C-alpha cells in the first residue's frame, strides 16, 4: 500500500505537469487505454483467461464506467481546477465514503473509532477544500472519489475472474467510452506529442494505472475494504509533497491543518481495524454474493 499510494500521489503532479499538452478528457482516455492495451498484451502473452458470460461482462462494464469513465474524467477535471495537492486530498476521500457501504454490503465491522474517524476525515476535507479553491474543482475531485469507491466495491464481485484481464478490459472499455465523450465535448484530439507528454503518459498508463490498479484490486480482494481504503489517505501527503518540490506549489496554512486532521482520521480508522473482531461479527465473505477465500486466488498467478 505504501508504494501504491506514493505512485498515485505522483500521478496528480504528473497530470498537472502535462495538462498543457492535451485536452483533459482526451488525456484521461489515453491514460486508461494505454493501461488497458498494456495489460491485454501481457495477459495474452501469458495465456490468461478473459472474462466469460453475461454476468462477468456486465460487472466488468459497470466497473469500467464507474472506476474509469466517471472517476478519471472527474479526476483530471478536478486537477485542472485545483492545485495538484488539494485535488489529491479530495479525490482520495474514498476511506470516508466506503465505510458504510462496506458494512452494509460485506458485513465489515464499523467500530466506534472508525465512525469518529469518518467525521474527523470529513472535517479535514472541509479545511482542505475551501481554502484550496473549493467550488467546481473540489466537487469534481469528490466525484472522482465517489467513482473510485464504487469501483472498489464492485471489485469484490469479480472474485474468481482473472485479475489482470478484468483490469485490462475494464480500462479498455472505460477508456473507449471516455474517448467518445471527449470527442463529443472537446472535438478532435488536439494533443501535442512532446517528450514531456510522452513521459507523463507512459508513467500514468503503465505505472500509475496498469501496475498500481492490479495491485490495488489484489488487496481489495483479500483484505477488509475499510482498512485498505484507509491507506489511501497517504496519497494526498505524497501529492502535496511532490507538488511543493516539483511544481513549486505552496499549500495554505488551512490546507496543512486539513491534512493533519485527515491523518488523524487515518489513525483512528487503522486503530479500529487492528483491534480484534468481536465474537459473532460477520466475516467479509458473509454478506452479498458468496466470496469463498479460495476464489480470491488470482487464476494464472
pTM to 2 decimals?
0.78
Cβ(149)–Cβ(287) below 8 Å: no
- Is residue 262 within 8 Å of residue 97, measured between CB atoms? no
pLDDT band, residue 187 (cuts 50/70/90): very high
Q: For the segment 241-261, what is each residue's pLDDT rounded down to a tens digit?
A: 777 777 777 767 777 777 788
Distance separating the N- and C-terminal Cα atoms of the chain? 20
Contacts by 39-42, CB closer than 8 A, 24 or more apart: 39/164, 39/165, 39/167, 39/168, 39/171, 39/210, 39/214, 40/165, 40/168, 40/169, 40/172, 42/164
- Residue 82 φ/ψ, nearest 5 degrees: -135, 175
pLDDT at site 212: 96
Show Cβ contacts of residue 296 under 8 Å, excluding neighbours closer than 6 positions. Answer: 159, 221, 222
pLDDT in tens, 62-118: 999 999 999 999 888 877 766 656 666 666 677 777 766 777 777 777 667 767 776
Q: Are 1 and 235 in contact (CB under 8 A)?
A: no
Amino acid at each position: 500500500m505504501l508504494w501504491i499510494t506514493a505512485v498515485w500521489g505522483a500521478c496528480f503532479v504528473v497530470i498537472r505537469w502535462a495538462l498543457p499538452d492535451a485536452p483533459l478528457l482526451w488525456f484521461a482516455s489515453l491514460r486508461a487505454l494505454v493501461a488497458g492495451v498494456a495489460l491485454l498484451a501481457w495477459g495474452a502473452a501469458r495465456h490468461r483467461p478473459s472474462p466469460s458470460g453475461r454476468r462477468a461482462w456486465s460487472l466488468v462494464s459497470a466497473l469500467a464506467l464507474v472506476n474509469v469513465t466517471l472517476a478519471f474524467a472527474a479526476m483530471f477535471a478536478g486537477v485542472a481546477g485545483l492545485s495538484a495537492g488539494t485535488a489529491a486530498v479530495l479525490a482520495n476521500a474514498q476511506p470516508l465514503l466506503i465505510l458504510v457501504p462496506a458494512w452494509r454490503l460485506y458485513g465489515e465491522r464499523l467500530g466506534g473509532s472508525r465512525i469518529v474517524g469518518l467525521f474527523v476525515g470529513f472535517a479535514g476535507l472541509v479545511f482542505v477544500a475551501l481554502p484550496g479553491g473549493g467550488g467546481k474543482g473540489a466537487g469534481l475531485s469528490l466525484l472522482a472519489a465517489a467513482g473510485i469507491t464504487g469501483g472498489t466495491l464492485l471489485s469484490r464481485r469479480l472474485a474468481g475472474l482473472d485479475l489482470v484481464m478484468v483490469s485490462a478490459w475494464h480500462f479498455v472499455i472505460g477508456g473507449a467510452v471516455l474517448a467518445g465523450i471527449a470527442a463529443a465535448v472537446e472535438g478532435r484530439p488536439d494533443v501535442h506529442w512532446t517528450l514531456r507528454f510522452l513521459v507523463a503518459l507512459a508513467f500514468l498508463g503503465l505505472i500509475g494505472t496498469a501496475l498500481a490498479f492490479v495491485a490495488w484490486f489484489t488487496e481489495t480482494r483479500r483484505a477488509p475494504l475499510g482498512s485498505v481504503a484507509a491507506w489511501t489517505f497517504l496519497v494526498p501527503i505524497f501529492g502535496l509533497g511532490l507538488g511543493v518540490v516539483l511544481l513549486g506549489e505552496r499549500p495554505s496554512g488551512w490546507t496543512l491543518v486539513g491534512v493533519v486532521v485527515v491523518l488523524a482520521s487515518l489513525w483512528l480508522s487503522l486503530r479500529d481495524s487492528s483491534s480484534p473482531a468481536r465474537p459473532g461479527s460477520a466475516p467479509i465473505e458473509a454478506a452479498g454474493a458468496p466470496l469463498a477465500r479460495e476464489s480470491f486466488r488470482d487464476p494464472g498467478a
